[in-house]
Amino acid sequence: MKKFNNKYALAACITLAVGLFSACNDDLLSGQTNPNAAQNSDNDAFPWQPGLAFIKLKANVSPSTRAATQSVTRAKVFDNSNVKVEQVFDMTNDYANLKRARGLDRWFVVKFDSTKNVEDVINELRHDPAIEKVHGNVQVAPAKVKYTSATRSPISPRRLRPANDGTGYLGFTDPYLKYQWHYTTTNSVYATFKPGADINLFSAWQKETGDPNVVVAVMDSGIDFEHEDLAASAWQGVDPSTGATIHGRNFYAAETGNGDPNVIIPGGHGTHVAGTIAARNNNGTGVCGVAGGNGDANSGVRLMSCEIYGRDGYNQTASTAYIVKAFEFAAENGASVCNCSWGYAFDRNKYLNNEHFQNIFKKQFDLLKEGIDYFTDIAGCDPQGNKKPGAYMKGGLVVFASGNDSQYDIDMIPACYPRVMAVGAFNSMGVPTDYMDKGTWVDLLAPGGTTNAGEVTKGVLSTVPANFYQLTTGEYPNTDFTLPTDYNYAYAQGTSMAAPHVSGVAALVVSKFGKDNPNFTSEDLRNRLMGAVKTNSPYAVKTDANLAGKMGVGYIDADFALSDPETLKPETPVLSVTDWSADATRGYYDAQITWNVTADDDALNAERTAFAYDIWLYKKADMANPVLKVTRYSYDMTVGTQIQHDFNGLETGVDYVVKMVARDRFNNLSPEVMANFTTRLNHAPVFGATIGDTLRLLDTQPYFHKVLPVNDEDGHTWIYNTTELPRGVEFKRVGNAFDLLIKVDKPGLYSFDVTLTDQLGGQTLQKFVYKVVAHTAPQLVNTLSAVSLFEQGDAAQINLANVFNSMSGAELQFTASSSNEGVVKASTKGSQLILESGKRGVATITITAIDGGKRSSTTLQVRVTDSNAPDVHAIYPIPAHSYLKALMRSNVAQVQVIVTSLRGEKLIDETLTPNTTTKEVTLGIDRLAPGTYYLLLKTERITSKHTFIKK
C-alpha cells in the first residue's frame, strides 16, 4: 500500500496543542531575537529551528570537520559570527567504515547565531561548490494522544467492563488483561466491545510470547524502567566510555547537555507505548504486553529507550541530527524493530494541501531518511554488514504512526516513506477511526481506541509513569484516564497506540522465525506482516470512495503473523475484458476487467481463497514499462465472487495488455494470465484558432477581442472549464465558439488554461498566454548612412521598414523634412523615403517614425554635387601616419587605390570596398617611408588624383 510521494509529515504535540515544539538553543551561541518568526508567518515560509542547519559534503570533498567548517565559514551570511560544525554520525566506532561506504561521514550539523535567518543561511550554503545537500531542522512532535474526555469525572469502577476472560488462554495472572480489548475481545458489549475487534493475540500467544534476544527500540519520550510492569523488560547495554549499564540513551540530554545521556527520564507517551509492546506478562501485576513473555524471567522481548523528548509538557525535543543518531544507536546495539509514534506537524491553514505541503517539507527529509535507511539495512549486522552471530534477523523494521489529523489526502512524513511501515487505527468496534491520517501509503491498521465522552475505557490501556496522575497532559487531569485505584495504568487513544501493537507483533514474528532461521531478513518480516490481516476488510466498514485504498491492507492479526507458511499456489484466475463496443460512452478512455476469486487449498482464511491479485497494465508498444501496478485483495471474499477492476484515464485508440497473478499471504504465485484490449478512438474537441504563442498587447490599447471557434471531429457535445482568469479577461461560450475579450491591464505576463472535455471524456488543454508591454516610442534599430546625389539628378529611395522597430507590431507611419530644400527635398510614401536633389550643397534630413501617437526621429546627411565632380569628397588625415581615409560618394561600390612616388613608381595597388555606414575606405600606409606621394582613386565613373604627405 506504500506509495512514494517524497516526504511529508504527520503529527502534533502530545501535550498542550497541535504544533511544533519550540526551539532549544545551544548555550554556547547567541540567543537573541529570532528573524525567522516573521518569516514563518507567511504561508510559503518554513518553520526552521533557529540557529541550526545540516549539510552533506560532495563525495569528492574530504569528509572532515575542518573541510566542512571551511565551506561553512565561506558563507558571507555568517560574517565573523561564531559557527560550530560537528559530524552527525559517530565515525569513531567499529561501524565507521560501513558508514563511510554509505556516505554518512559527509553529514554535518551547523550551529550558528540564532538571530540569523535560517533560509538565508540555507540559500547561501546551497551554492557552495563543496556542498551536495543542505537543509534546516524542523522539530518533531509525538503523534497526538488523547487522554482528555469531555467530562471532568474520573473513571468509575462500574464502567470497567471486561472484554475477555483475562487469562489469555495460558492462565496469565495480570489483573488488567481483561480490560485490554485490543488484544482479544470475546465479550460482546453493545456499542463498547465487539468480538474480533482486536489483534487476535490470545491465539498468537499459543505460538510465541517473545524472546529476550529480540530488542525493540522505542524512539519517543523516555520509558519508566522503574515501573513494576516494565523493569524486567529493560534492555541491558554497556556504555563503552564509562562501563555503566544502560537501558538506552537520552538523546535530548546528549544534544543539549541538560542531563546525563545515560539517564532515561520517564515520559507518559513513551511509557504507554512501551507497555503495549512488552509489559511483563503473567506476573500477577498490571497489564500485558504484546511480546511481554509468559512469566518466565527468560521470556519476553527487551525494550531499548531511545529518548528523543525531554520531560512531558516542556516542549523539549532533539534535533534531526540526534534523531538519526538514535537510529544509528539502535541499529548498532542490537534492536530489530524501532517504534516511532511521532512525525511532523501538519497545519492545513498554513500548508493548504498535499502539493504545497510536499513542496515545502521535501526540502528537509534527506538526513532523516539516511537514519531510517541505516537502521533498516544495518540492524542485526556486524561492522562488515554481515548478519551478527546470534542475531535473529538481518536488517530492521521501522514502524511509524500514521498521525491523528483526520486527513486522507496528505502524505505524512515520515510515515509515507516506502521503507517504513505506517500504521493507522481502529476502535473497539472494529471501525477505522476518523482521527487517523489515511492515504495510499498506510500499510496496516491496529487498535488505537477512543477516549471520547463516555468512552474512556474504549481506549488502549497500558503503562504510565508513577507520577502520571499528577500531570496534566491535556485540558483535564490525568486521573480522568488512569485506572480508578491504580495510577500506574491509563487509557489513551491515537495512532501512537496503534503503532506499538504492530511493533509488538513484529517482535513476536522475529522471536519465532528468526531464532532458527539464519536467513531471516527484515523483508521477510515485512512480507509476513503485510499478509497477516484479518479476513474482514476495513473497506467493507468504511465505504466512502475518498478512502478507497487509503486504510492499508487491513486489520493486523497476530495469529496469522505467526502461522506456518502456506505452500500451495492459488488457482489460476480467468481474466476477461468487458466489451464496451456497443456502449455509448465507455471504452474510449477506460476499460474494465473481471475475474472470479480463485481457491487456495492451504489458505489461512476459512474461505480458502487467494489472498490478493497483482495486476500490471502495459501499452502493447512498450511491454518493458508498466503504465500502472495495482493490487486487489480478496481475503474477505468467497470462492467464485466476481471482482471488477476499472482502469481510468487511459489514452484513446491505444492497444493495452493486462497481466495478472493470484498470490497467497506468503507470495506463492499462480501462473500469469494476460488479456488484451484496445481503447476506442475518440477525437477530443480542439480550438480552431487561438491567440498565438504569446500575444503582445500595449498598455495604451483599451482591449483585445477575438472569436475562437471550437471543432469536434466526432460531433460530440462538449463542456469547458478554465483556470482563474486574469483581471479584465472575459471568456464566454457562444455556440461552438468562444468570445474572448481582454481589457488591457498594467504591464506583465498573464496566462490561463482552458480545458475542453467532450461527452466521452476526451480532453484538450489549451494554454493562453499574453503579455502587456509598456507602449514606448519606436526603437531605432539600424543607422542610416550618408547619401550623395548629383545636382538635378534622379531621385533616390530608401526603405525605412527595417530602420525602426514598432512596439505594437503594427505598420509604422513616417514623415521626413529637409534642413535645406534648395539642396534636397524629402518626402515619404509608405515606408519609402524619397530624396530629390536640387543645387549643390549639404542638407540634413530628419525622419520621424510614428506608432500610435508615440514617435522617434533620426537624421540623415545628404550631399549634392556637380555631375562632373569626383567620387571622392575628402582625403584625411593630412599629413598621414599609418593610414589614409577617403570619403566616397554614397553610391560607390568599389575603389581601386594606387599610390606612386613622385617619380611615378607604383608602390601600392589595392581594391577597397567603402564602409556601408561611413562611406569611407581605409588604406594602410605603414610600409611607406616618410615623404610626399601621389594617390589615385579609380571608380567605375571617374579617376581622381591627389597628393598626400606621409610623416
* Integer Rg of the chain from CA: 41
Positive or negative torsion for Cα 34, 38, 41, 46: negative
The cell numbers describing 703, all together, are: 482591449
The reply to whether 645 belongs to the active site is no
Task: Give the bridge partners for 615, in sequence order.
Answer: 630, 660
Burial of 538 (0-12, 13-18, 19+ CB in 10 A): buried
SS3 377: helix
Strands 895-900, 931-938: pairing is: antiparallel
Q: 862 and 909 in contact (C-beta within 8 Å)?
A: no
Q: 895 and 939 in contact (C-beta within 8 Å)?
A: yes
* Active-site hit among 174, 211, 220, 524: 220
Where helices occur in 233-379 by DSSP H, the ranges are: 251-256, 268-278, 320-332, 348-351, 354-361, 366-378
CA–CA separation, 471 vs 495, rounded Å?
22
Max CA pair span of the chain: 138
Closest CA to 656 of 590, 749, 750: 590
Q: 491 and 449 in contact (C-beta within 8 Å)?
A: yes
Cis before 879 (ω within 30): yes
Task: Give the bridge partners for 817, in sequence order.
Answer: 846
Beta-strand runs (E) in 905-942: 906-912, 920-924, 931-938
DSSP run (H or E) holding 851: strand 841-851
CA–CA separation, 168 vs 205, rounded Å?
8
SS3 36: helix
Q: CA-CA distances (angstroms) from residue 751 to 446, 701, 707?
A: 48, 18, 18
CA–CA separation, 696 vs 772, rounded Å?
6
Q: 236 and 357 in contact (C-beta within 8 Å)?
A: no
Task: Give the bridge partners for 53, in sequence order.
Answer: 110, 136
Closest CA to 303 of 222, 414, 392: 222
Q: Which letter, b or e, does each residue of 850-859 get, where b requires 16 or more Cβ atoms within 10 Å of its Cβ?
A: bbbebbbbbe
Q: CA-CA distances (angstroms) from residue 427 to 11, 461, 535, 538, 541?
A: 19, 13, 17, 11, 12
The cell numbers describing 854, all together, are: 508615440
Closest CA to 847 of 796, 890, 804: 804
CA–CA separation, 537 vs 635, rounded Å?
8
CA–CA separation, 485 vs 158, rounded Å?
12
SS3 237: strand
The reply to whether 496 belongs to the active site is yes
Closest CA to 502 of 549, 443, 439: 443
Q: 509 and 521 in contact (C-beta within 8 Å)?
A: no
Beta-strand runs (E) in 578-694: 591-596, 612-619, 628-633, 642-647, 655-663, 673-678, 686-687
Q: CA-CA distances (angstroms) from residue 398 to 90, 418, 498?
A: 21, 11, 14
* Active-site hit among 182, 227, 269, 272: 269
Strands 612-619, 591-596: pairing is: unpaired
The reply to whether 220 belongs to the active site is yes
* Active-site hit among 114, 233, 319, 496: 496
- The letter for the amino acid at 745 is D
Closest CA to 228 of 280, 267, 272: 280
Q: Find the distance separating the first CA and the last CA of the chain, reported in whole Å.
A: 93
- The letter for the amino acid at 707 is V
Name the residues annotated as catalytic. Answer: 220, 269, 496
